[in-house]
A = this chain, B = another copy of it.
């Protein structure tokens, strides 16, 4: 099925305990498209880049079924740039530089050719931008998922809440869920967020896996226990892309399918962190993904006699 992805395509400069990567390709829509393109096509990409964004990166994604009619190129503009430094535990990071550049003027126009999208992922962006995309869709998608962050809770909470009323699923990390709900208990936090609109809530807990909430049901997915995380950048977007790409492929949004999709997303994220940027995602094959998913099955599977 056709999948629409809205998010950033950007440059990142990253410092981790393993080294430094200077102005490599990043952005939520980049990671999500790389992950999702293993499962479904076409992918209707919506983003904005400057004239500095490499055509080669676009061509690579086009070869995987990603269409760029909805990606605005500002020839004399500069692409969004983010620079950060990870702490030793890799769970926390400091932002060193944020240059919005062309992202400051991002006002996405959804092309007619994109109206076939039945699955929609709204990457972490200003809630007003996410909302504008939803308003431009002529038919309600089969599934819309969105990401957000504490920044928008601080400065645009009302718009965020309106946007939450327009989507089926919110995907946030545990500290974001606590901030949004005002609840310390993750279970209570998920219930409050469900009451804000999204029927489904995914709370990501990093090395502790993820929880999927729907009605009174909960699914707990493990994270792959890794000896080393090389670069966590983009892991959340990769998770989201794998999650919704898999659901678009099987064209099913039942809770049982979403449980499987959480495992697929977790598998994709576990590749992402193995190298800087999206490099590992560019290398992996269908066989690699099958093998990784089987590792998750071994990790989580048990039989009570």
| Interface mask (A66-92 → B, CB under 8 Å = 1, otherwise 0) | 000000000000000000000011000
Q: Which residues of B have CB within 8 Å of A184?
A: 88-89
Interface size on A, residues (CB 8 A): 41
- Type the 1/0 row for A204-236, where 1 means its CB is closer than 8 Å to any CB of B: 010111010000011111110111100000000
Residues of chain B lying within 8 A (CB to CB) of residue A88 = 184
Q: Is A185 on the interface with B (CB-CB < 8 A)?
A: yes
Name the residue on B nearest A263 (C-beta): B302
Q: Are A304 and B300 in contact (CB under 8 A)?
A: no
A298 (CB) vs chain B CBs: closest residue: B217
In the complex with contacts A260-B304, A305-B250, A218-B211 CB distance below 8 A: no
Cα(A257)–Cα(B305), bound, Å:
8
Determine whether A303 belongs to the interface, using a CB cutoff of 8 Å to chain B.
yes
User: Nearest B residue to A262 by beta-carbon distance?
Assistant: B302
Which residue of B185, B208, B223 contacts A227 across the interface (Cβ within 8 Å)? B185
For A262, what are the chain B residues with a Cβ–Cβ distance below 8 Å? 302
B300 near A220 (CB under 8 angstroms)?
yes
Query: With the chains together, A207 CA to B293 CA distance in Å?
Result: 24
Q: Which of B187, B222, B225, B301 contacts A222 (CB 8 A)?
A: B222
Decide: A300 near B303, CB < 8 A? Known: A186-B225, A227-B188.
Answer: no
Give CA–CA (A225, B299) in the complex, Å. 19
Is the CB–CB distance between B298 and A293 below 8 Å?
Answer: no
**A44 interface hit (Cβ, 8 Å):** no
Known: A208-B208, A260-B305, A304-B260. A220 touches B299 (CB 8 A): yes
A202 at the interface (CB under 8 A from B): no
Q: A209 to chain B: which residues have CB within 8 Å?
A: 208-209, 220, 222
Which A residues between 239 and 274 are near B, CB-CB below 8 angstroms? 250, 256-257, 259-260, 262-264
Q: A262-B302, A263-B302, A293-B304 are in contact. List 6 more A-B contacts (CB 8 A).
A: A89-B184, A187-B227, A205-B208, A218-B299, A220-B300, A257-B305
Q: List 5 A-B contacts (CB under 8 A).
A: A185-B227, A218-B225, A220-B299, A264-B304, A300-B300
Which positions in A face B, CB cutoff 8 Å? 88-89, 184-188, 205, 207-209, 211, 217-223, 225-228, 250, 256-257, 259-260, 262-264, 293, 297-305
